[in-house]
Structure 1
Amino acid sequence: MAARHLYLVRHGAADPFGELTAVGERQSELLADRLARLPVDAVWHSPLPRARRSARIIGARLPGVPVRAADELVDNVPHVPQDPPPAWAGFFDGYDPAEAAAGRRRADALVERFARPAATETHEVLVTHAYPVAWLVRHALDAPPARWLELACGNTALTVIAYHDGAAPALRVYNDMGHLPDDLRWTGFGPGVRP
């Protein structure tokens, strides 16, 4: 049975202006070395600079694999809950109904394009942002829309979802940072105790 394998990746560490840092470049190189062992067919990336640069670094280590932009992978808020958890309430201040509806349309377009089986066996890398990764994981698990809020992922952490005809999506790996040394892990998270 053919499967579509999505290798979801948050871009490397970036500066406040959205540009990849030296740390983010090194994270992307290490992830590329890991992905080079796989039969990757395509690398898709968000149009934002930090994701585009990460994807180009990855693509440079995957000879012959096309690297292309996909607008559906742009960073956005996919769902605004009616009653957000107290810790998130300030985050959603200022989101009006039109902006929330636009975010939902982008999230629906992301799912429609990528979260489905393919006609043939495919292996695609999606270099995107924390929120689209969380949304695709939430979707794969058939969790309520608000569950995306607590699904955080680190910079260049790897998440893998497989899609088969006639079966529920299979979450194979989530937020795996095994390709990164300790000093490059957990970027993109706030302070806290790490396992």
Structure 2
Amino acid sequence: MARTRLYLVRHGEQDPASAHALDGGLSQLGREQADRLGRWLRTVPFSMIHYSPLARAVQTAEVVAGHLPQVPRHACDLMADRTPVPSAGQRGRYPDRWLAWLDGVPDDERDEDASALQAAVEHLGVTGDKDRHELLITHNFVIGWFVRHMLEAPVWRWIGLNQANCAITIVQWNSDRPPTLISFNDTGHL
């Protein structure tokens, strides 16, 4: 029985001075969070670190990778900051109370009908011939989408599944049973 275990982590705290910048880096606390995360994960047999190309995720990955020097890493567009928004034909699948907020999502973050996020799940959530552990350093809504998928919840249910900075969510695929949510938003290492 082969399994794939993905460790989904939201980047460290963003520098408040760049909070309104499109691509701000980490605060000092964010760097400390990433360091604690790296120390906590150093015994996991990761085969790869995938991270969002945004500065706060890149910097988180750099700090964590200092504790995992043998693990290859790469910027991965599948981990980019995305917000699932319904297309015109899918708006009825979302509660009315969220539609105005979703209409205001900036164009560069919009993922219509979560097509890119679903592609990320389909690409990364597969099993092979042997066990695989991978670290994904990404953003809140990306993790929310993976969790929603694992729970087979309605398409809008990623809303409100909020991740703490550098918290760990673990999802697992097995070759002989349905996917499983192992842990959600674990901050015990922080």
> Where on the TM-score scale, by shorter chain, does this alignment land: which range?
0.7 to 0.9
Contact 2:170 2:181 in 1 (8 A): yes
Deviation sequence 1:107-140 (CA, Å, 0-9, x none): 1221121122233211100000000000001111
Match of 1:165 among 156, 162, 175: 175
- Are positions 1:130 and 2:140 aligned together? yes
Distance in structure 2 (CA, Å) of the matches to 1:12 and 1:113: 25
Work out whether 1:154 is the aligned partner of 2:164: yes
Among 89, 98, 101, the alignment partner of 1:91 is 101
Which residue matches 1:8? 8
SS of the residue 2:170 aligns to: strand
Which segments of structure 1 move beyond 3 Å, counting only runs of 4 or more?
A: 94-97, 99-103
Deviation at 1:104, TM superposition (A): 2.1
- What do the CA deviations read for 1:31-65 (whole angstroms, capped 9, x no partner)? 00010021111111011111111011111111211
Structure 2: gaps (5+ residues): none
Deviations 1:127-165 (A, max 9, x none): 000000000011111111111112111100000011111
Amino acid at match of 1:171: L
Residue type at the aligned position of 1:5: R
TM-score by length of 2: 0.86
Structure number with the higher strand fraction is 2
1:19 maps to which residue? 25
Same amino acid, percent of matched pairs: 36
What are the superposed Cα offsets for residues 70-101 of structure 1, whole Å, 9 maximum, x if unpaired?
10110111243724352x3442234699x866
**Whole-angstrom distance in 2 between the partners of 1:46 and 1:96:** 18
Matched position secondary structure for 2:114: helix
* Residues 82 and 110 in structure 2, CA contact (< 8 A), matched pair in contact too: no
Q: In structure 1, what is the Cα distance between the partners aligned to 2:62 and 2:122? A: 25
1:141 partner letter: L
Question: What is the rounded CA distance, in whole Å, between the counterparts of 1:130 and 1:120 in structure 2?
Answer: 29
1:119 maps onto 2:125 in alignment: no
Residues 79 and 145, structure 1, Cα contact 8 Å, conserved in 2: no
Instruction: Quote the Cα distance in structure 2 between the aligned partners of 1:124 and 1:77.
Output: 23
Residue correspondences, number: 178
Output the aligned Cα RMSD: 2.1
User: Structure 1 residues 35 and 91 mapped into 2: Cα distance closer, same or farther (>3 Å)?
Assistant: same
Task: Give the aligned partner of residue 185 of structure 1.
Answer: none
Moved more, 160-169 or 6-15: 160-169
Decide whether aligned partners of structure 1 residues 101 and 122 sit closer, same or farther in structure 2, where only a CA change above 3 A counts. closer
* Structure 1 Cα separation of the partners of residues 26 and 128 of structure 2: 32
The alignment's TM-score, normalised by the length of structure 1, stands at 0.84
Q: Which amino acid aligns with 2:40?
A: R
